[in-house]
Chains A and B, each alone.
Chain A
Amino acid sequence: MGRREIHLRLNGGDRRVEVEDQTLLIELVRGVGLIGTKLSCDMQVCGACTVLLDGRPVSSCTTLAIEADGKPVETIEGLADGAKLHPLQEAFIERFAFQCGYCTPGIIVTAKALLDADPEPGAERVRQWMEGNICRCTGYQTIVDAVLDAAEQLRSAR
């Protein structure tokens, strides 16, 4: 109650953070410098603040930080391997799947959860999975194409 220390696995590293019960997960991740996660609608409609909590995509704007206690949390910063970008990130560049880029971290993280669970999604599955992520610049075709490209890339790399 009140203030507590939580232990989480943040982008693969163990971390102890002191939070208050009402602290939101987005406040935690941005507070430790992971500012790739973006606040936008603040009502779990747009998907810009998406992070993976225990492998599932959640709106970090509407998730309490205490829920991460004892669990893995993955943000956009956790995808690249040093200077080597994740295949999803490469595919988004290749396909010009973003313009202003504000929604992109949430979109890529959401797509990662899909590809982790389902390495061979069809275009319809990608659309249905991603329908809760809003982009106001590009239209969605390049995003769907990029996710499908990345899925293929990941499959051939295995």
Chain B
Amino acid sequence: MLRRFDVHRATTVAEAVQLRGLFGEDAAVYAGGTELLLAMKMGIARWPHLIDVKTIAPLRQISATNDTLRIGATATHWDIERDAAVLRALPALARLEANVANVRVRAAGTLAGNLAFAEPHADPPAMLIALGARVILEGKGGPRSLAVADLITGMYETAIGADEIIVAIEIPLPAKDARAAYVKFQILERPSVGVAAVATLRDGRFSGAPTVVVGAADEVPRVVPTAQFAGADAHDAPTREAIAEAARRAVEPLADLAGGVEYKRHLVGVFTQRAIDALVTQAT
């Protein structure tokens, strides 16, 4: 049961931006509704107006060029996990999307909505940050681009302006010989800990430093400092343990129903090692 509200179906980005300006704090942007309607049902949030952006047809497009994958704001996890361009250009993202929450959430929920809600227990942000993804926002002042790492500013907090909506996510495609992996530990529909890793390996060694980002454990995703591991042997047990230790030190885990602080910190180490394992065993 939901309290009364009005849904306004925008048909263009300009109209959605205008509605944002008109209703201000009284409106929320509505796409999949998987987070928004849940929060409203639980009484955590109440908006008298919802601005539906699913009715803006071009926002559902997914396309890839030689160097960028562009995912429209209303593309659902379901769309992304089976999209030919995603499967070809970034299979690690397709795999991640195929394991978000459950099949019903994937059928309705959008990647942009996942970012906009900034629920800490989420899969995509860690991987998107590891890949250097950016969101394209549009507001009264026109479009702007913001790194996902700068978009998520806290638990349920983002840098999206009061008159802005996300129109797309742009992901620079990693180099041809780069590898990307995401591993997680999950009970029910949200991850307790998720680790994304991106690296290029040459003769078993990291070419440059590996990128490791820990998601879900902390209030925001944490980029693990890995500069010292540039050129290190990816198969070397002490190196892997040192990266795991760096990851454990990089997070301040949230204690919640998924586990306590020390337990989650332990999981962060274990899953960082597994993410490196996944890179090493992956064919390029």
Q: A residues engaging B (CB < 8 A)?
A: 1-2, 20-24, 27, 42-45, 47, 50, 53, 56-59, 62-64, 66, 110, 113, 128-129, 131-133
Q: Which of B12-52 contact A (CB under 8 A)?
A: 33-34, 37-38, 41-42, 50
Question: Please, how many angstroms separate the alpha-carbon atoms of A50 and B106 in the complex?
Answer: 13
With A44-B105, A132-B101, A132-B103 as given contacts, are A62 and B33 in contact (CB-CB < 8 Å)? yes
A27, chain B: closest CB distance, angstroms: 8
Contacts of B8 in A (CB 8 A): 1
Cβ contact of B105, chosen from A24, A110, A128, A132, cutoff 8 A: A132
Question: Please, how many angstroms separate the alpha-carbon atoms of A42 and B105 in the complex?
Answer: 13
6 A–B contacts from the bound complex (CB under 8 Å): A22-B2, A44-B105, A45-B102, A47-B104, A56-B78, A63-B37
A85, chain B: closest CB distance, angstroms: 24
Cβ contact of A129, chosen from B34, B103, B188, cutoff 8 A: B103
Taking A57-B107, A63-B108 as known contacts, 12 extra A-B pairs with beta carbons closer than 8 A to each other, sorted by chain A number, are: A1-B6, A2-B6, A21-B7, A22-B5, A44-B102, A45-B189, A53-B107, A56-B108, A62-B38, A66-B7, A128-B99, A132-B102
With A24-B1, A56-B78, A62-B33 as given contacts, are A44 and B104 in contact (CB-CB < 8 Å)? yes
Cβ contact of B38, chosen from A23, A27, A43, cutoff 8 A: A43
Question: Please, how many angstroms separate the alpha-carbon atoms of A20 and B50 in the complex?
Answer: 13
A-B pairs, 3 with minimum CB distance: A132-B102, A56-B107, A22-B2
B57, chain A: closest CB distance, angstroms: 14
Q: Are B107 and A45 in contact (CB under 8 A)?
A: no
A7, chain B: closest CB distance, angstroms: 16
Contacts of A64 in B (CB 8 A): 7, 33, 37
Cβ contact of A57, chosen from B2, B101, B104, cutoff 8 A: B104
Contacts of B3 in A (CB 8 A): 22
Contacts of B7 in A (CB 8 A): 1, 21, 64, 66
Cβ contact of A58, chosen from B6, B50, B104, cutoff 8 A: B104
With A56-B78, A59-B104, A110-B103 as given contacts, are A21 and B38 in contact (CB-CB < 8 Å)? no
B176 within 8 A of A: no
Question: Please, how many angstroms separate the alpha-carbon atoms of A57 and B108 in the complex?
Answer: 9
B46, chain A: closest CB distance, angstroms: 11
B4 within 8 A of A: yes
Cβ contact of B104, chosen from A20, A21, A24, A50, cutoff 8 A: A50
Contacts of A62 in B (CB 8 A): 33-34, 37-38, 41, 108
B73, chain A: closest CB distance, angstroms: 17
Question: Please, how many angstroms separate the alpha-carbon atoms of A66 and B38 in the complex?
Answer: 17
Contacts of A22 in B (CB 8 A): 2-5
With A58-B104, A59-B104, A129-B103 as given contacts, are A21 and B37 in contact (CB-CB < 8 Å)? no
Residue of B nearest to A64 (CB): B33
Q: Most chain-B CB neighbours within 10 Å: which of A44, A56, A66, A129?
A: A44
Cβ contact of B6, chosen from A21, A57, A110, cutoff 8 A: A21
Q: Are A58 and B37 in contact (CB under 8 A)?
A: no
Question: Please, how many angstroms separate the alpha-carbon atoms of A20 and B2 in the complex?
Answer: 10
Question: Please, how many angstroms separate the alpha-carbon atoms of A58 and B4 in the complex?
Answer: 22
Contacts of B41 in A (CB 8 A): 42-43, 62
Contacts of B42 in A (CB 8 A): 43
With A43-B38, A64-B33 as given contacts, are A58 and B107 in contact (CB-CB < 8 Å)? yes
Question: Please, how many angstroms separate the alpha-carbon atoms of A137 and B163 in the complex?
Answer: 49
Contacts of B50 in A (CB 8 A): 21
Question: Please, how many angstroms separate the alpha-carbon atoms of A43 and B37 in the complex?
Answer: 9
Residue of B nearest to A43 (CB): B38
Q: Most chain-B CB neighbours within 10 Å: which of A20, A45, A62, A133?
A: A62
Q: Most chain-A CB neighbours within 10 Å: which of B50, B103, B104?
A: B104
Contacts of A59 in B (CB 8 A): 104-105, 108
